Amino acid sequence: MRFCSALRTFFPQTLLLKYHFLKSKIASWWYGMPSRKMLVIGITGTKGKSTTANFLWSIFQASGKCTGVLGTANVRIGNTEEMNKWHMTMPSPFAIQGFLRNLKNKGGEVAIVEFTSEGAKQFRHIGIEFDGALFLNLSPEHLPSHGGSYEQYKREKQKLFAGLSSSPQKIMKGQKIPKIIVANESDEASAQFLKFPADKKYFFHLLRSTQHALGIEKDPYIPHIHGKIVFEDAQKTTIEVFEENEAYSIDIFLPGEKNAENAMGAIVMARSYGISWGAIETGFESLVKIPGRMERIEKGQKFLVFVDYAHEEKSMEFIAQTGKKMLEGTSGKLLILLGAEGGGRDPEKRAKMGKIVGEMADIVMVSNVDPYEDDATKICEDIAVSAEKAGKIRGKNLFVIEDRRQGIHTIFSLAKEGDVVFITGKGSEQSMVINGKRIPWDDRNVAIEELLVSK
């Protein structure tokens, strides 16, 4: 970690970027440009990429197409799965191209790749010939890496969409593969991602409780598919999806409005490539969990435990809202463990997350996530002080324990029957970086171990 930091300090930024570009070109050539031989779909957004990618994987698998996923949470090739070992969504170009080659060698027909602003900045997408581009949402994140500019952050993500027309249209099994853009109409930035050339463009929209289909302002030149939540509990969410004059009921096994919205993105992208409603329904039914994404941990305890990757303001708000909804009509409490990353990640989000949990959670635990070489105490205090300002009291309903295992142990000891506990910030990540040293870690395994200890 320190060696990489020294390199960034020593070499000019322009020289480093040229190095990254050349590295991606060489990697693509070295592995035989495998993306030219498959349908490749890129997914971008500040949050929800891994959930949507796994939804799409399951749908395409159910349609009979061998499909792979490369993303933050996991790596899939057909029915095999391993956790992401690189601690980054888009790893080195050689890792990306090696994944694509391996997928193709094993009969892969579809590749789903999560697309990040940091990966785009370092040209890791060069050599990946995308066919579909899916936009989920946009909110400030990783801004220090982009000179503090939200607009630059947006432009990096837009490279996925701008690049669709720069690669030739593929022909597979005698059919031309169209270039397709799908965007979440609910996000105000969606129009800016739909402006790029493509053969087909689609909006998707999840109706809120105060909306109905006739109330949506539609662009008459862009097809819309919209959905509505009709049932939700801690086990399952049912959405009714409307396409033209038909309605379809789809069950997904993740709670919360945002996960329903992610499902809509996957559905519309799948439909745009001709996947049947039967395969879509089967795909959702067969995907009972996504690693570290609202993943329920059950070891016989009398309270609910979920591990989730939530690590910024909007996702933390979603977690808190989902937890509150689960507790409606009960006397149970909402307990949230959170932290924030160091290593140049946006420090301004710490206070925002602290404010949200301070206002919405009943008990707050602040612990390490990935301080890297930064001051772990300061990171935790930035969150805790904000939670205090929102009304929390240290030692009563606000606790700061930097050691993450001890923090998890303690929050379980505070939970009572009927409560809901969220362990946030890392999801299924396989390591944690403290003082520049990477140590093995998996929140899900630690949660299981500490639940067994507390019984």
* Residue 240, helix vs strand vs coil: strand
- What gap in Å lies between CA 60 and CA 75, rounded to an integer? 15
Reduced to 3 states, what is the DSSP secondary structure of residue 69?
strand
Do 421 and 392 have their domain in common?
yes
Q: Hey, how many other C-beta atoms are within 10 angstroms of the C-beta on 169?
A: 13
The residue among 56, 174, 63 whose CA lies nearest residue 111 is: 56
Residue 18 structural domain: 7-286
> Which residue type is seen at 310?
A
Per-residue confidence (pLDDT) for residue 363, from 0 to 100: 98
Both 48 and 192 in one domain: the answer is yes
Cα 307 from Cα 309, distance rounded (Å): 7
Q: Which domain CATH number covers 52?
A: 3.40.1190.10
Are both 403 and 432 inside the same structural domain?
Answer: yes
State residue 210's pLDDT score: 41
Q: CA-based diameter of the chain, in Å?
A: 67
Would you say residue 200 lies in a domain?
Answer: yes
Q: Could you read off the pLDDT of 345-367 as tens digits, one per residue? A: 788 899 999 999 999 999 999 99
Residues 125 and 51 in one domain: yes
Predicted confidence at residue 151, as pLDDT, reads 87
The whole-angstrom separation of Cα 322 and Cα 67 is: 31
| pLDDT on residue 326 | 94
State CA 299 to chain mean position distance: 26
Residues 112 and 232 reside in one and the same domain:
yes
**SS3 assignment, position 144:** helix
- % helix, strand, coil for the chain, step of 5: 40, 25, 40
pLDDT value at residue 436: 87
- Please name the residues in contact with 4: beta carbons below 8 A apart, sequence gap of 6 or more: none
Interior angle at CA 92, CA 144 and CA 430, nearest 5: 80
Show which of 232, 261, 286 is a domain's final residue. Answer: 286
pLDDT value of residue 207 = 81
On whether both 315 and 193 belong to a single domain, the answer is no
Flag whether 375 is in a domain: yes
Q: CATH code at 434?
A: 3.90.190.20
Nearest to 164 by CA among 146, 150, 182: 182
Instruction: Establish if 2 belongs to a structural domain.
Output: no
Decide which of 246, 269, 286 is a domain's last residue: 286
The reply to whether 197 and 340 lie within a common domain is: no
293 DSSP 8-state letter: B
Backbone angles phi, psi at 364, to 5 degrees: -120, 130
How far apart are the two ends of the chain, measured CA to CA in Å?
39
In a domain, 232, yes or no: yes
Token pair belonging to 418 = 């009927």
Q: Is residue 215 part of a domain?
A: yes
pLDDT at 16: 82
Are 281 and 314 in a shared domain?
no
281 plus 301 within the same structural domain: no
Q: Give the helix/strand (H/E) hosting 408.
A: helix 404-414
**Burial of 87 (C-beta count, 10 Å sphere; 0-12/13-18/19+):** middle
User: What pLDDT, on the 0 to 100 scale, is given for residue 214?
Assistant: 35
Residue 204, token pair as written in the block: 């998707």
280 and 304 fall within a common domain: no
The total number of structural domains that make up the chain? 2
Shared domain for 303 and 189, answered yes or no, is: no
Cα distance between residue 261 and residue 133, in whole Å: 16
Lookup result for tokens 């400030």: 140
Are residue 149 and residue 173 in the same domain, yes or no? yes
Q: Is residue 136 part of a domain?
A: yes
Q: Assign residue 294 a region (left: φ > 0; alpha: ψ between -120 and 50; beta: otherwise).
A: left
Tokens of 2: 């320190």
**Residue of 289, 333, 372, 210 lying closest to 50 (CA atoms):** 289
Q: How many CB atoms lie within 10 A of CB 26?
A: 14
DSSP code of 406?
A: H
Intervals of the chain under pLDDT 70: 1-12, 140-148, 208-223, 455
Given this model, what pLDDT does residue 345 score?
A: 79
Structural domain ending residue among the three candidates 286, 314, 332: 286
For residue 46, being part of any structural domain is answered with yes
Residues 304, 296 contacting (CB under 8 angstroms):
yes
Tell me whether residue 415 is in a domain.
yes
